[in-house]
Structure 1
Amino acid sequence: MTYVPKSDFLQVMVTRGYMQDCTDIEGLDEKLMAGVVPAYIGYDATAQSLHVGHLFNIMMLRWLQKTGHRPITLMGGGTTKVGDPSFRSDERPLLTPDKIAENITTIRGVFTKYLSYGDSGAIMLDNAEWLDGLNYLEFLRDIGRYFSVNRMLSFESVKSRLDRDQSLSFLEFNYMILQAYDFLELYRREGCLLQMGGSDQWGNIVNGIDLTRRVAGAEVFGLTSPLLTTSDGRKMGKSQGGAVWLNEDLLSAYDFWQFWRNTTDADVGRFLKLYTELPIAECDRLGALGGAEVNAAKVILANEVTTLCHGADAARAAEATARATFEGGGIGEALEVRLLTRAQLGAGLANTHVLTATAIAASSKEAKRLIGDKGLRFNNELVVNPNDLVTADTIGAELKVSVGKKKHFVVRLAD
């Protein structure tokens, strides 16, 4: 019989689809029912911003706080210097300490939109605070002795790399020890009882639980979420134009809104549960809509997610801009952003080549067929000649490309 949790937090995790595995769900449930549980998720500073792939576990921290517990966001100022090898085929590029510090500064602002910091609220820490000052020999003697290399090699995140005969450096191999030490240190400093993360972090989390039990004699827990992909198999966080960043200086609120507006029909209900706070019954109702009606659900999804990340004003402005982009305010029509580099464009590019270069058409033959069937419009004007040139002046700030009545794209120039 499947265990049915009693605590508000675990009920949310299960019913909304956040949870994949838990090391001891009944034990954790008892702790959550007994009092405030501090829990953490770690974020390495490998880029200037987090992307929508991180929103999954940011929402987990938000729900943790909304159900009365204490979120800890741990910035990986120390672990970023090593790089997590989990399920990677190659070593991460090493960043300088200055670059890591710069990335942490730009990432931090996102969390203040989702969590309430301050007295007895969420806290943010940087593991460089304790990792940078470690004495190597003391660390090996005091912590390294608790780790079995045989066991570390058995974890799927490492094993999958070695099975493909891909090199795993000694530097990367140390990552799981450092992450395990983070859990021990957070237990000592903040009474942290729970680490959460994606399912690819299971081995690292289990190591931290085992280390904390051995060194501190404490019972702590781990909870993982499924690695999320869209219904068509794409990794969450990526789009045709690249990563969907959470920082507005890297991706405008409008483009962020459009990413969610372009959600495939099959993902609407699931994404409403994961990325908004709408009641589950409403998420199910909206997700069950079909035909043209599902477009209204996509607008609600885009508005709700954008409001959390960029504010209600930004969401309203994005929706208004989208309405104005289409004739008659047809917000029911999707708008995808495609990038065309200046090098690709050169002095000018034929209409057909613009379509293939931006993957709007799969081939020149398909592009010519669209034009021949009078199914292509640029900025709402019918395209009749496949060989007419598109120039930088033609595109301007952006070029609206319409394929038939329901497919719409915006082509922008990129350096």
Structure 2
Amino acid sequence: MTGAAPIRLDPTFDNVWDELVWRGSVHVSTDETALRDALAGDPITFYCGFDPTAPSLHLGNLAQLIVMRRLQLAGHKPLALVGGSTGLIGDPKPTSERQLNERETVAEWVEYLGGQTLRFLSEDGDNAVRLVNNLDWTAPMSTVDFLREIGKHFRVGTMLKKDAVAARMDSEDGISYAEFSYQVLQGLDFRELYLRHDCLLQLGGSDQWGNLTAGTELIRKAEGVHAHALGTPLITDADGRKFGKSEGNAVWLDANLTSPYAMYQFWLNQDDAIVVSLLQKFTFLSRERIAELERAVADEPFRREAQRVLAYEVTSFVHGSDTTDEVVAASAALFGGGALDALNPDVLDQALSSLPTVTVTPDSSVLEALRETKLVSSLSEARRAVTQGAVSVNNERITDAESTFEGRLLHQRFAVLRRGKKTLAAVRVQS
């Protein structure tokens, strides 16, 4: 790799809307012609909300942040809303009631998620990102004022038709009034941001469409103004399964929850059928470069060039190019393409965490480690593999069946055990 692509719009598009459509980032929207014209004109203020229902943003949030960055590059003004109040309630899931988090926990997550958003959006210039917290305007509002000023504009029949609400109404447990009211709170947010910042566009996932339009309808009824909403497609794997925390397969943007190495491997392992779509949505590569990679997928899929570029670009955007370079070096070194002892020990530690692992002392037998990590099925098979030259420790071939890990440990902490070319295990020193 020669470094990540510059973070910029593709100059071959006349309008940022056209680029968003080409990249597959528009699943649904309000009046397309009016929205396209708005984005082609003077800068407008737009927002996207992130609820603190977990200690980190994740892959679905990254899709929104990249759309926000593209709009910001086009001159528009982003508001990043972290939901200090909506995070206390939780958007209703189609399956069951959310567990409410403690107020102190939500407050901590609000602060951290706000900082995360600033990593992806520019804080410079006339359209610098601004952080907002909806607790600032909901906390002072009385219940009576909320019902009189906001609630009167919502019709229960319409609210019941929202997909998540309808699904829960048909379930055994039903839905609480708190979660039922979530769409009213999100509508209140959009109206408040319109009044405070002249915000005219809200972004969100397509599964949030009912909440997005709750805001546009509230602004229309209460203020007589036509605002806009844009729903992006859900991010799914090649089989159509959604990635996310509720599905248990979230990819987190916090390096302590999903390491840079694990993130790189996630993108590297994407299927040929969806890699081009992911390049469009999650990178700033030009359509000319993506077309080249699409041809590479068709002509030489075994090289997985598109996946390698995707992994490098997205991991660099999230964690920086320097960290990604270390990850790439670690990935290569694991398979004999570099010196393991020259790697950043923390990155090497991340890489080893994905492998079968055995805990040893320096005088532990290599044969035993082979058996315990299931690289072989027995000690006799381990002995044969060693004497045949098929075993290595830290990319150095082992030929003595009596070998131990003494003098072979990296950073006195771990080693890479290999049988053959591609079967690996991690060895860690007993603490």
Task: Please indicate the TM-score interval, normalised by the length of the shorter structure.
Answer: 0.7 to 0.9
1:80 and 2:87 are equivalent in the alignment: yes
Aligned to 1:197: 204
Q: 1:261 to 1:225 in 2, by over 3 A?
A: same
AA aligned to 1:130 is: W
1:18 and 2:25 are equivalent in the alignment: yes
TM alignment of 1:9-408, pairs within 5 A: 9-87=16-94, 89-118=95-124, 119-237=126-244, 243-290=250-297, 291=300, 294-329=303-338, 338=354
Aligned to 2:363: none
Identity of aligned residues (%): 36
- Contact 2:355 2:424 (8 Å CA) reproduced: no
Q: TM-score, normalised by structure 2?
A: 0.77
- Contact 1:83 1:172 (8 Å CA) reproduced: yes
The farther-off stretch of 110-119 and 211-220 is 110-119
Q: 1:313 to 1:144 in 2, by over 3 A?
A: same
Distance 1:132 1:52 in 2: 30
Q: 1:316-348, CA deviations, whole angstroms, 9 ceiling, x for partnerless residues? A: 111111111112359xxxx89647799xxxxxx
Distance 2:296 2:377 in 1: 32
- Contact 2:356 2:424 (8 Å CA) reproduced: no
Q: 1:22-46, CA deviations, whole angstroms, 9 ceiling, x for partnerless residues? A: 1111111122222111111100001
Distance 1:207 1:72 in 2: 18
Q: How many pairs does the alignment contain?
A: 382
Could you say what secondary structure the match of 1:278 adopts? coil
Q: 1:380 to 1:317 in 2, by over 3 A?
A: closer
Q: 1:312 to 1:151 in 2, by over 3 A?
A: same
- Contact 1:20 1:224 (8 Å CA) reproduced: yes
Query: Which blocks of at least 5 consecutive residues in structure 2 are unaligned?
Result: 1-12, 340-350, 359-367, 398-408
Q: 1:193-231, CA deviations, whole angstroms, 9 ceiling, x for partnerless residues? A: 111111111111111111011111111011101111011
AA aligned to 1:107 is: L
Q: CA deviation at 1:134?
A: 1.2
Q: 1:125-167, CA deviations, whole angstroms, 9 ceiling, x for partnerless residues? A: 0111111111001111121111111111011121122223342
Q: 1:250-302, CA deviations, whole angstroms, 9 ceiling, x for partnerless residues? A: 33322222222222232321111111100122113213324465433322222
Aligned to 1:391: none
Query: Could you say which structure has the larger radius of gyration?
Result: 2
- Contact 1:83 1:94 (8 Å CA) reproduced: yes
- Contact 1:270 1:287 (8 Å CA) reproduced: no
- Contact 1:338 1:412 (8 Å CA) reproduced: no
Runs of 4+ aligned residues of structure 1 deviating over 3 Å after TM superposition are 240-243, 290-294, 335-342, 349-355, 374-382, 394-413
Distance 2:160 2:142 in 1: 25
Q: 1:337-374, CA deviations, whole angstroms, 9 ceiling, x for partnerless residues? A: 647799xxxxxx9988966xxxxx9xxxx989xx89x8
Q: 1:398 to 1:81 in 2, by over 3 A?
A: farther
Aligned to 2:9: none
- Contact 1:376 1:401 (8 Å CA) reproduced: yes
Could you say what secondary structure the match of 2:279 adopts? helix
- Contact 1:269 1:286 (8 Å CA) reproduced: yes
Could you say what secondary structure the match of 1:74 adopts? strand
Distance 1:132 1:412 in 2: 51
Q: 1:53-84, CA deviations, whole angstroms, 9 ceiling, x for partnerless residues? A: 22111111011111121111100011011110
Q: 1:401 to 1:81 in 2, by over 3 A?
A: farther
Q: 1:57 to 1:378 in 2, by over 3 A?
A: farther
Q: CA deviation at 1:247?
A: 1.6
Query: Which blocks of at least 5 consecutive residues in structure 1 are unaligned?
Result: 1-5, 343-348, 356-360, 383-393
AA aligned to 2:327 is: A
Could you say what secondary structure the match of 1:71 adopts? strand
- Contact 1:241 1:337 (8 Å CA) reproduced: no
Q: CA deviation at 1:412?
A: 8.8
- Contact 1:337 1:411 (8 Å CA) reproduced: no
AA aligned to 2:319 is: H
- Contact 1:76 1:128 (8 Å CA) reproduced: yes
Could you say what secondary structure the match of 2:33 adopts? helix
What is the RMSD of the two structures over their aligned residues, measured on CA atoms?
Answer: 3.8
AA aligned to 1:263 is: Q
Q: CA deviation at 1:308?
A: 1.2
